[in-house]
Amino acid sequence: MTAITATAVATATATAAAAAVTDTSVSTPIDLTDVELFASNNHHAAFRRLRAESPVYRNPSADGTSFWALTRYDDITAAYIDHDAFSSLHGAILGGSFRTGGGDTASNEMLVASDPPRHRILRRVMHPPFGPGMVERIQHSVRTLVSRAVDDLRADGGCDFALDFAPLLPIGALMAMFSIGVEEARHVVGLTRRMVGYRDAALTDVSGDERLRLAHAQSEIFEYFADLLDERGDATGDDDVVGMLRRAEINGEPLTDAQLLYACMNIAVGGNETSSYTICSGFLALLENPQEWARLRAEPTLLSGALDEIMRWGSTNAYVQRVTTRDVVVRGVPIAAGEIVTLWNVSANRDPDQFPDPDRFDITRSPNRHLSFGAGVHRCIGAPAGNVELTEAFHALLGSGLEFRTAGDPVRLRSNFILGFTSLPIEIGA
């Protein structure tokens, strides 16, 4: 068996304690598929235990299957980078790939479900939709929406931030990227929200088989974009994402219908579900740490660093899935070829070996090399767009001159993949 990388081997043997870790169990079993663990905000305590007792953990599941969970920063970073051993071909979500006959129809067709060299080709296709010109369009669109939302908030004396304010970030982005109106963009956000929140009764009907429910939610998004692409026809002269994708080529050939749909799905789900939930976790962190809010209001130039801390703190994309292509060893623990391995960004972002005093929210934390955007070739291509959305939203809130406070208990999304809120009531303070 081979070690995942030379760096990982060095890390595993750096201390006697790390080298001695070979037990993959914990004193009390933890099930990382249990959404209640995350909805109740108890996942950080669980990951503290895993990092200490079993950083390479075999997670038991109720259906008799299991998967591996990596929870320490160095191991997760090494696995991200070693795409030869840890493949993305089966998709990023446990049980969420588009399977027919045991395969995965998205393999090497969707950016998040591809490995090099195919990944580099697909990334070139996806680069124009996230280029500087499009990011600027997104910035103006989001700025307009959040400015109006702050006016409404002022007039109403408060709002449910998770429902009334946060979705405006992906709505503005979709309007700019696909040249659609606000209500149509809101409809798309609803579709992607039901897909990610397929286990949350606040977002969808949770009766019936979970896998079928997820597949139905995915098919609804595909149907929307199939209709949109039909409606636009050729569209090669358009300056939005549809036009960019229609003009794109792979090996000299235009994208197939399936490739167009996967690209649209990747853009819509990846962007919609991260920015809106990140603004919720970040704003709540600032309200719960009023000294940090005061520092940010006094020095708005701190916002760039504050966004890094917000992304570390919220870790909206909790994990990604990989599948081993060969036998590997991590911290002395053998993992066979063909095993599912999950990389828990949310745990890496609280690893005290990388982040001193990790449970302290500090908008001036430096360095802050969080993994919320991933690492290596799979670093999120939409990071610049997400940053500009969050920047415009916080500029609007900071510039309002208003004081805010929570007006009720926040309700967390019932998901172990995307961490966010389905309700965050706020009101204007004195």
- What confidence tier does 101 reach under pLDDT thresholds 50, 70, 90? very low
Please give the structure tokens belonging to residue 367. Answer: 């360095």
Q: Which residues are bridge partners to 59 per DSSP?
A: 67
pLDDT tens, 280-311? 999 999 999 999 999 999 999 999 999 999 99
**Which residues 6+ apart lie within 8 Å of 190 measured at CB?**
none
Q: What is the mean pLDDT of residues 349-372?
A: 98
Q: Is 331 exposed, middle or buried (0-12, 13-18, 19+ CB in 10 A)?
A: buried
CATH number, domain of 270, equals 1.10.630.10
At 65 the pLDDT is 75
Cα 349 from Cα 336, distance rounded (Å): 27
Nearest Cα neighbor of 429 from 394, 399, 405, 400 is 405
At 97 the pLDDT is 56
Window from 5-19, 170-184, 235-249, 380-394 with minimum mean pLDDT: 5-19
Q: What is the mean pLDDT of residues 261-275?
A: 89
Hey, which bits of 296-339 come out as E strands?
319-324, 328-330, 333-335
Which H/E stretch holds residue 343? strand 340-344
At 17 the pLDDT is 34
Q: Report the share of the chain in percent with pLDDT over 70.
A: 92
Cα 102 from Cα 112, distance rounded (Å): 19
Cα 58 from Cα 77, distance rounded (Å): 19
Report whether pLDDT(406) > 60.
yes
**Which residues 6+ apart lie within 8 Å of 218 measured at CB?**
98, 195, 265
What domain count does the chain have? 1
Q: Report the share of the chain in percent with pLDDT over 90.
A: 85
pLDDT tens, 148-197? 999 999 999 999 999 999 999 999 999 999 999 999 999 999 999 999 99
Report whether pLDDT(337) > 80.
yes
Cα 371 from Cα 318, distance rounded (Å): 10
**Which residues 6+ apart lie within 8 Å of 16 measured at CB?**
none
Q: What is the mean pLDDT of residues 369-383?
A: 95
Cα 81 from Cα 5, distance rounded (Å): 9
Spatial strand order in the sheet of 319-324 = 56-60, 66-70, 340-344, 319-324, 86-87
At 104 the pLDDT is 67
- Residue 400: give the domain boundaries: 2-428
Q: Which residues are bridge partners to 319 per DSSP?
A: 344
At 96 the pLDDT is 67
Cα 313 from Cα 253, distance rounded (Å): 43
Q: What is the mean pLDDT of residues 42-61?
A: 96
